Structure 1
């Protein structure tokens, strides 16, 4: 008789992307790539494809809580990550459960502003994220625009990114990763990692492709997966960046718009 294999587990708390490129779909594929069992708590259902979003239905905060508790009381949570949480009620509910369950490996992707600069959540939700969720985060992964909002300064240079990391760290997360995907010039692809003492500049060659949908979700999910496997915070981040870069080099030719990255890129090679 075959004995079941013990595996690490990770929970994604995020929205569903019907086009399969981002959200929980990207997160679960990323977990699977890292040989981590993925579980999920849906915060919203979106009708979207590579051309855009046509509808969003938000899940009640009580239902989000129920999903988290169902996973925690049976399967367990070695690491968790959050994506789009949509409103103050959901953010408060997630923060409450993370605190009550004692989740010690929590990656927060603070989905507040798109990579293009479009605001995604209102001021009440931003305040809840700053005050309730960030202090619980093991690692937070703001993009350029989110870092500007959280730190209260414009980001144009590497020094700006470093100062933003310091300011965001004062909000409570153990580690801040300011992502440079939307930075100008040579800073594109350069991230700043700060744990309160150690300041690291992480750089990998940027990949020229229009198919970048889901990169932010994938990076935070890969960090969470690596943490679930027991990696340290800096190693988990470095390995996640390497994974995303490889996935960007193998984008998928699906749809007529901004397509997804290749989460399962080794299977695409003959």
Structure 2
């Protein structure tokens, strides 16, 4: 039947080296057997050495991207990635309210996994006030969870309190990715669901420089699972295994900080 194949959409920036952003999302969608589309919000010129330039796309063009997809396709779930500024976030929110693109998986690209701030104050406040309330699932890393909740997260109960606060902001389900520290042997992520379930997902910690696109791919995999009819819990558990497999089987691409290996999941 027309538009019967599961379709998903990423709302994110384009990463020229393919390691993160919309490219990582699309690789994940392909590996998870869903048809992926993209609304690009920015273009980044970068490689394994770092980011060299970036350019935000005009809001009117972003509007047209949304309309073009809505006029032709049936998107069952969508996810967000890099949203550069408050105006772009407001544009995304307006379109998500105007069109039905299914459940939203929000990857709040605010702080890197090493603690570097990526989003200016105005955009941060707009994301909190307008985008989080639309999220079916939110997947902040350790530092983003602290920034969003203004909490210092040290103990398991701190993770629960942070998740409670994110739910109070409007997110229905929360996955807080664990902190990366030197000499650690495991990595644990905390999950709190709308039905009251709480659990940890733990894997061995792998020391590697090939982790670009980890957060993008995790949220994209959750999005794909929901689009195919999986429960939020099942989609999260699958995504955790998907990303671990992609990190545990590295691919020799790039001289320095390389991508995770999506091919390991085909």
Tell me the TM-score normalized by structure 1.
Answer: 0.93
SS at match of 2:38: strand
Give the distance between the partners of 2:251 and 2:100, measured in 1 at CA.
38
**CA offsets 1:71-90 (integer angstroms, 9 cap, x no match):** 12101211100000010011
State the distance in 1 between where 2:49 and 2:66 align.
31
Counterpart for residue 9 of structure 2: 11
SS in 2 for 1:102: coil
Q: How does 1:95-244 map to 2 (within 5 A)?
A: 95-182=93-180, 188-196=186-194, 197-244=196-243
Name the CA distance, whole Å, in 1 between partners of 2:105 and 2:136.
6
Residue deviations 1:53-97, cap 9 Å, x none?
000011012211211221121012111000000100110111111
C-alpha distance in 2 between matches for 1:5 and 1:228: 13
Deviation of the 1:170 alpha carbon: 0.6
Map of 1:260 onto structure 2: 259
CA contact (8 A) 1:104 1:138 kept: no
Distance 1:153 1:188, change over 3 A: farther
**CA contact 2:89–2:131 (8 Å) conserved in 1:** yes
Gaps of 5+ in 1: none
Cα contact 1:180–1:187 (8 A) shared by 2: no
Aligned length: 265
The SS at the match of 1:204 is strand
Distance in 1, matches of 2:226 and 2:33, equals: 12
Q: Are the aligned partners of 2:75 and 2:102 in contact in 1 as well (CA < 8 Å)?
A: no
CA deviation profile, 1:198-235 (whole Å, cap 9, x unmatched): 22212222222221011000000000011110100000
After TM superposition, the score normalised by the length of structure 2 is: 0.95
Structure 1 position 162, deviation (Å): 1.7
8 Å contact from structure 1 (residues 210, 258) kept in 2:
yes
What is the RMSD computed on CA atoms of the aligned residues? 1.8
Tell me the secondary structure at the aligned position of residue 75 of structure 2: coil
Q: Distance in 1 between matches of 2:3 and 2:90?
A: 35
1:245 aligns with 2:247: no
Query: How far did 1:4 drift?
Result: 8.7
2:53 maps to 1:74: no
SS across alignment from 1:78: strand
Residue pair 2:193, 2:233 contacting (<8 A) in 1 also = no
Give distance in 1, aligned partners of 2:170 and 2:242.
27
Is the Cα contact below 8 Å between 1:179 and 1:192 reproduced in 2? yes
Report the secondary structure of 2:262's partner residue.
Answer: coil
CA distance in 1, matches of 2:251, 2:61: 33
